[in-house]
Amino acid sequence: MNGKQDSVSINVNCNRATNATIGSLDGTINLGGGVTSTLTFDGRSSGAIYLPSGASTHTVASTLAATNPTPGDKSGSGTIVINLP
């Protein structure tokens, strides 16, 4: 389970190129039963990103980690924020 990842592609459309920062509002997401998830945007959980002018495709991913996981359903939610200048 450790390192298991799922991802989705998202489209971002900017009217001009810009540098932005990203961050997760929730940090590591507790899914219950000893399992957590970390969200990333293009492989980064926080820090500076470049968004080009026009349409661009980016990857949002969830990576799982577990410590003594227990059986059963797991769920949780998190938010990645793109802070524009």
C-alpha to C-alpha distance for 42 and 61, rounded to whole angstroms: 8
How many Cβ atoms sit within 10 Å of the Cβ of residue 41? 22
C-alpha to C-alpha distance for 75 and 17, rounded to whole angstroms: 36
pLDDT of residue 80: 92
**Side-chain half-sphere of 23: how many Cα atoms within 13 Å?**
6
Give this prediction's pTM: 0.84
β-pairing verdict for 47-51 and 29-32: unpaired
Which residue ranges form the domains of the chain, and what is each CATH number? 5-83 (2.60.40.1090)
Whether 74 and 28 have beta carbons less than 8 Å apart is answered as no
What is the per-residue pLDDT across 47-69, written as a single tens digit (0 to 9) for each?
999 999 999 999 999 999 999 99
Segments of the chain scoring below 50 in pLDDT: none
